[in-house]
Structure 1
Amino acid sequence: MINPIVARSLNEIQFWARIMKEHSLFLKLGFTYDQKNLVVEAQQFYDLFERIEEKLSRFSVNSDLRAVQAFNNEVYQAAVHIWAFKRRILDLTLRCEILTNNYPLLVDHTSREAAYFARRLKELNEGVLAPKPDDIIKENVFFLKIMADHAKFIGHLLDPSERKLVDQARDFSHDFDQLLFQAQDLDHMRPQSETRPLLDQMLDQNRVSTKSLRDFKKQARELIEECRIKSNIHPLLADHTFREAERFLEIIDMYEAHLNAQ
């Protein structure tokens, strides 16, 4: 019988280790020619998460729980260390001690994802798998902020002459800001009565908007790969944001299935 903690742990590592590796590349590409030490550090994190991906391939859903928990601890340490690196870069940037080609919000964005990854691994090693209503709301708050950030990054990295796409990105940014505020309001209310209708409504609204954003990202990715639009968006970054939208949709479906099983 497959242990759900093992299966979920490997799934989280498979997705987020690749994301962390790509963050390392994006940060590295954003440093200037005179920031050689930061380039080296970013490359070290890239190599670290590449090794984690290689080690992951030795595990399966039938692997021993203790071995997977030990691997979780190892990856947890890597996630914490890259989080600290990102926060240091953000601090140096905000204090104007360094100037990079990465927006401060983007660096903060990547650090939030590292913190999320580390927290998920810690929870799984504590045996936490099934979400509570408050967890569902907080998870949506996290991903709605991620999606809102993506829309802002896309809008700012597109060439200003791509007016239609810039306007679309701005509209998505506004849409997800509103969904984020709505989810934060629900989180602050912490309703004590039956929350199922409220959760269902939130998940439905978020699913519809995220599908639209995902499709927009897919279109943008294809246009960038075919050199049909003008932008400073790396093709891998376009695919990166697309995969995170897909991940949010998977999580919405997972939470809905959990609610239906109650």
Structure 2
Amino acid sequence: MANEFVSRSLDEIRFWSRIMKEHSLFLSLGFSSDDIKLIDEAKQFITVFERIEEQLNRFSVSSDPQQVKAFNNQVYQSVASIWAYKRKVLGLTLRCEVLSNNYPLLIDHTSREAAYFANRLKELNEGKLVPLPEAIIQENVFFLKIMADHAKFIGHLLDPSERKLVDQAREFSHDFDQLMYQAIDLDHMKPESETPALLGQFLDQNRVSVVSLRDFKKTARDLIEACRIKSNIHPLLADHVFREAERFIEIIDMFEGHLQNSHG
């Protein structure tokens, strides 16, 4: 169990610290040149998460769990800080005190991911390693919303002349909105752990859609990197959303494995 706590903690920090660092870059690029203070703050967070990535290299699966727990706490503080920064930027944007190329939904999206990361660190330090049925559904609600948001961002950042890709992005946006509402309905029904078949079917359905979206993102990323698509999408952003889809597939696999083991 100690080994699982260490490996899970390091895996979450490795994945999400990179995501937080990239959020900082994307936000900094979206501001107007007048917003020097906000740009500087965003760049400071890039440094913060680069340091965390450097510290991460000193740990391994055999590291002392108490040291990892302390590291989780340290990272948690940084994540709480970037969450507060993102909420501040969102407030300024909604009040039209800041004009930027960062959509309010994108800023909110990045803050939700920071809240998720902070919560994962907190849960790990509380010893919550095994997902409960209701946690499985809530985690899917979170990621389905993230995937729906990605499809919306892609659709809005593509050049309007890329009609076929814009239509595909809209279709994915609609599909993931529907899956998210379906997950919310299931969450309200609160299926007990005695209904693994229902949860298994739910996860299978989500996986099929996420794999399709992941493949679409991969194609878009490769075309953007080769300058074969007209868009305002930064190549790193294209890779960023691809990695998050990959992450969701890994989480679905983990949940399915847990369901099979607990009801095998």
Does structure 1 retain, via aligned residues, the 8 Å contact 2:133–2:191? no
What's 1:98 paired with? 98
Q: Deviations over 1:193-241 (max 9, x none)?
A: 7321210111001000000000000000000000001000000000000
- Provide the C-alpha distance between the structure 2 equivalents of 1:185 and 1:70, rounded to a whole number of angstroms: 38
Does structure 1 retain, via aligned residues, the 8 Å contact 2:155–2:170? yes
Gaps of 5+ in 1: none
Q: Please provide the CA RMSD for this pair.
A: 1.0
**TM-score (normalizing by structure 2):** 0.98
- Provide the C-alpha distance between the structure 2 equivalents of 1:60 and 1:194, rounded to a whole number of angstroms: 37
* Identity rate, percent: 74
- Report runs of 4+ in structure 1 exceeding 6 Å deviation: none
SS at match of 2:254: helix
Question: For residues 9-88 of structure 1, what are the structure 2 equivalents within 5 Å?
Answer: 9-88=9-88
Number of matched pairs: 262
- Provide the C-alpha distance between the structure 1 equivalents of 2:191 and 2:224, rounded to a whole number of angstroms: 44
1:148 alignment partner AA: A
2:150 alignment partner AA: H
1:133 alignment partner AA: P
C-alpha deviation, 1:2, in angstroms: 6.2
- Provide the C-alpha distance between the structure 2 equivalents of 1:198 and 1:47, rounded to a whole number of angstroms: 44
- Provide the C-alpha distance between the structure 2 equivalents of 1:207 and 1:21, rounded to a whole number of angstroms: 27
Question: For residues 1-262 of structure 1, what are the structure 2 equivalents within 5 Å?
Answer: 3-192=3-192, 194-262=194-262
- Provide the C-alpha distance between the structure 2 equivalents of 1:190 and 1:250, rounded to a whole number of angstroms: 24
SS at match of 2:167: helix
Gaps of 5+ in 2: none
**TM-score (normalizing by structure 1):** 0.99
- Provide the C-alpha distance between the structure 2 equivalents of 1:211 and 1:117, rounded to a whole number of angstroms: 23
- Provide the C-alpha distance between the structure 2 equivalents of 1:137 and 1:209, rounded to a whole number of angstroms: 16
